[in-house]
Amino acid sequence: MAGNIVLIGFMGVGKGRTARALAAETSRFAIDTDDLIESFVKTKIRTLFAEQGEPAFRRIEQQTADWLEHHVSGSIVSTGGGFFMVNNLRCLGRIVYLHSSLKGIIATLRRHPDAERKIKKRPLLRDMAKAKELYRTRLPLYREAADIEIDVEGRKTSEVVAALKTLLIQDGLL
Ligand code: S3P
C-alpha cells in the first residue's frame, strides 16, 4: 500500500491546485486531506476548529493519515498545512514540500478573486502575527520532513508541475 506523492507546505501555497494539475497530467487521482476530513465530520474545518478546537482537528488528521496508509496508493495527496506532523507521514509515500515565502503566499491569496473566503476558511491565517510565527517555526520542519523541495513562488502551476514531474521521474516515482 501507500506509494503516494504527498504534497506538504504552508497554508495557501497551492498544494491542492498543484496536486490536481499533477494528477491530471499523470492519470492519477488527487486526494485532499482537508476535503476528506470535511466529508468525514460533515462540517467545515473552520467550524470544527471553532466548536471542538485544534486538538480535535489534529486527532482527525491522524485518523485520516492512518486510513490513507492502509487504503490509498498511487495517488497525489495534498494536505493541510499542519498535516505533516502526523506520526506516519513517511509511510504514505514520497514527501514533496512546496516552498514560498510567507509574503509570496499572502500576496497570491490577496490577488485571488475569492480572497476573502480563502482567508476566512483558514482559522490559523486570520491573525497575521501568529501566522508569521507559525511559518517561522514550521519552515525547518517542512524541510526536515520532505524528500523533495520545490520553489513555487512567482511560478505558474503549470511550471511547478513540469518541474515536479522532472524531479519525480528522476526519482523513479513517475
Ligand atoms: C492548517 C492548514 C489548513 C487546514 C487547517 C489547519 C494548518 O489547510 O488544514 O486550517 O495547521 O496549517 P491549508 O494548508 O490547505 O490551508
Distances, alpha carbon 62 to alpha carbons 55, 59, 66, 112, 172, in Å: 11, 5, 6, 31, 28
Q: 80: which 3 cell numbers?
A: 493541510
- Residue 112 in grid coordinates: 485571488
Q: Contact at 8 Å (CB) between 23 and 6?
A: no
Cα–Cα dist 124/145, whole Å? 21
Instruction: Please tell me if the CB atom of residue 45 comes closer than 6 angstroms to any atom of ligand 1.
Output: yes
Residue 122 CA: which ligand 1 atom is closest?
10
Q: What is the mean pLDDT of residues 82-94?
A: 97
Q: Summarize pLDDT for 105-151 with one digit per residue, the tens.
A: 999 988 889 988 888 889 898 899 999 999 999 999 999 999 999 99
Indicate which atom in ligand 1 lies nearest the CA of residue 37. 9
**Residue 153 CA to chain centroid, in angstroms?**
15
Please tell me the predicted confidence (pLDDT) of residue 59. 98
pTM: 0.96
Distance 9 CA to ligand 1 centre (A): 9
Average pLDDT, the chain: 95
* Ligand 1 atom with least separation from CA of 49: 10
Testing ligand 1's pocket by substitution, the residue of 124, 130, 139, 142 carrying the most ligand atoms inside 8 A of its CB is 124
Higher-pLDDT residue of 75, 117:
75
Report which ligand 1 atom has the smallest distance to the Cα of 82: 11
The whole-number pLDDT of residue 123 equals 87
Residue-wise pLDDT for 164-173, tens only, equals: 999 999 988 8
Task: Please give the Cα distance from 116 to 11 (Å, whole number).
Answer: 14
Which residue, by CA, sits nearest to atom 16 of ligand 1? Answer: 11
- Cell numbers given for 89: 507521514
Query: Does ligand 1 come within 6 angstroms of the Cβ of 60?
Result: no
Distance between Cα 1 and ligand 1 center (Å):
26
pLDDT at res. 1: 59
Ligand 1 atom closest to residue 124's alpha carbon, by position in its atom list: 10
- Answer positive or negative: Cα dihedral of 106, 115, 148, 91: positive
> In this predicted model, what pLDDT tens digit does every residue of 11-25 receive, in sequence order?
999 999 999 999 999
Digit-coded pLDDT (tens) for 13-70: 999 999 999 999 999 999 999 999 999 999 999 999 999 999 999 999 999 999 999 9
